[in-house]
Structure 1
Amino acid sequence: MDIIDKDEKEVTVIWKDRKYVIPKSEISSMDSSKSGAHTSYYYQTFYLKDNSKIIGSVAEETPDEITIKSELGFVTLNKKKN
């Protein structure tokens, strides 16, 4: 979410390519120190060739590997082997 305008009454933000105007009376707090790439996380199930599965979210992906953040930590898989 990016703040594009704010005044004494409202804050205007863009989130997922849509513009929203939020009354300041509805905002309990704002942390302006958070900035950078915005990411939404969702869990996926990855089924491996040995019939095991990993449930987690993609933390990083390259052409050869995928790193998954699971409940047990980070797992890096070679795409060609798994």
Structure 2
Amino acid sequence: MEGLRRTFGMGEPIRRGMELKMAGAGEWRPLCLGGGSAGVHGDVLAGRDCEIGWEDVFTGGEMREVPDFHTEMEARFRMNW
């Protein structure tokens, strides 16, 4: 961000920060579809779109039991009375 500030001024890092925040808040996928926020949008904004790291492949939850889609959606929208 410091390099962006020096090159483009204060507007660029502020804009990127706001876009990263919006991309992180609006991005959600159920665990049965790959889970979490596998942030393609965040990776593009951070400049990590052309690289694959160890944590991109192995997220640590491979052995965990994944809840079904309906249970997860009911919990997300607070419908689990």
- TM-score of the alignment, normalized to the shorter chain, above 0.5: no
Structure having the higher helix fraction is 2
**TM-score bracket for the superposition, by shorter chain length:** under 0.3
- Normalising by the residue count of structure 1, what TM-score does the alignment of the two structures yield? 0.22
Structure having the higher strand fraction is 1
- Normalising by the residue count of structure 2, what TM-score does the alignment of the two structures yield? 0.22
